[in-house]
Chain A
Amino acid sequence: MNENVLSRAVPAKTSGWLHYFANPGRFLRFVQPILPWAAGVSLILTLAGLVWGYQFAPADWEQGDAARIMYVHVPAAWVAMSGYAMLAVCSLFSIVWRHPLADIAAEEIGPIGAGFTFVCLVSGSLWGKPMWGAYWVWDARLTSVLVLFFLYLGHIALIRAFDNKTHGYRAAAILALAGAINLPIIVYSVQWWNTLHQGNTISLAGGAKIYMTMLYPLLISTLGFYLSFLTMVCARVAAAVCERKTASALLAAAERG
């Protein structure tokens, strides 16, 4: 059965709404005009959040100015995890519905997600040294985020490792889906085990343990990071679709002679 799954190069036709929204041509027509605006808005939001957070928000009672690293660290961490969730959803669509756009999206999410995870790890490390007294400790939260980073890197390598792209898509999708189990581990690591990393400040249950003048810049910066992530992924997917269109047009021209 597995040979059968891997060797089928032509994606099965999908039906209904799924087909409508995931058509590469429609995706291009929808996304390309929006991209410059999305890029501008994400830049403005990110800068506004960061300037507010670093310049105008009050310092923390306990950590002073060092706590301002959260305006980078926290949005990066959220985007890193959401990006992986998106990767897992794309992989599900890739494996089950064989959707070509999901394959391309999975290929393009990887490097961006890895970048945000790297920002999260480095900013956290720079926060850890002055506050905890250590750049790195092997507690459950830090380790599980490092595992997330390696999952991204593994996915990036695996999806590009085959001469037959379809084999890479299938193999990488399995890795991405299996790795999704790490997401709840990251989120709940600070509740399940004793960690040096502090617990969740913002959770669905109970109010946000952060004063409002510090919460607003954090939310704006988060919005900016999310929008930047989506813009970069959409731009990369659009570019990849264009590349494939160009390649097939060239191929068709060559066949005509």
Chain B
Amino acid sequence: MLKPKRRRLYLVIVSGLCLSAAVGLTLAAFSSSLTYFLSPRQVAAQHPAPGMSFRLGGIVQAGTVQTTLAGQTPTTHFAVTDGRAAVPVVFTGVLPDLFREGQGVVAIGAMSGDGVFHADEVLAKHGAAYMPKDVEQSLKEAGKWDPKFGPPPPASTWNDMKVGS
């Protein structure tokens, strides 16, 4: 016969394992709906039906941004890429301040029949690397990183580098 303390400990451990398994399986099953956005590769594979609303996320492809002004409202054409596939996007309205080539974005909208994603809203997804402007400049000048083409090099190469001044 187990001591009550022991029995309660085992009960907690077994319940914990069961609960973790249940939650793990549930999250795995609902994984696709827990994802906030689809990447261009997923869009290319799944072909969401035209008009069906979803979120598209990726990097603004360098050299694809074109803005035209109709009166006061700008319309911007750009492509969102994940390095393997790219989806052309058109958005009418004011973009977030962080929007630039190489910036992560999440666009909310739907595909149209011609294969262009019509965004109703564009959110900027900023990176997880924090550095002063002069560190970014010197990485750029050293040719180690161009923010246009994605995230910075491994942190250990810059998080304690000496900058000029």
Contact across chains for A181 and B36 when beta carbons are under 8 A apart:
no
Q: How many residues of B contact A (CB 8 A)?
A: 47
Contact across chains for A214 and B124 when beta carbons are under 8 A apart:
no
Query: Which of A60, A62, A95, A195 sits near B8, CB closer than 8 Å?
Result: A95
CA gap between A166 and B143 in the complex, in Å? 65
With an 8 A cutoff between CB atoms, is A250 at the interface? no
Known: A201-B130, A211-B135. A196 touches B34 (CB 8 A): no
Contact across chains for A181 and B136 when beta carbons are under 8 A apart:
no
Contact across chains for A198 and B155 when beta carbons are under 8 A apart:
no
Known: A5-B8, A95-B8, A193-B34. A198 touches B128 (CB 8 A): yes
Contact across chains for A194 and B124 when beta carbons are under 8 A apart:
no
CA gap between A176 and B15 in the complex, in Å? 13
Known: A177-B12, A196-B106. A206 touches B129 (CB 8 A): no
Contact across chains for B36 and A130 when beta carbons are under 8 A apart:
no
Contact across chains for A178 and B5 when beta carbons are under 8 A apart:
no
By beta carbon, the residue of chain A nearest B94 is A133
CA gap between A192 and B33 in the complex, in Å? 12
Q: Which of A57-73 contact B (CB under 8 A)?
A: 58-63, 67, 70
CA gap between A138 and B124 in the complex, in Å? 15
B34: chain A residues at CB < 8 Å are 140, 192-193
Contact across chains for B5 and A133 when beta carbons are under 8 A apart:
no
Residues of A with Cβ closer than 8 Å to B? 5, 12, 58-63, 67, 70, 92, 95-97, 130-134, 137-140, 177-178, 181, 185, 192-196, 198-201, 206-215
13 CB contacts below 8 A, A to B, read A59-B133, A60-B130, A61-B131, A62-B98, A70-B130, A177-B12, A196-B106, A198-B126, A200-B128, A207-B159, A209-B129, A214-B130, A214-B131
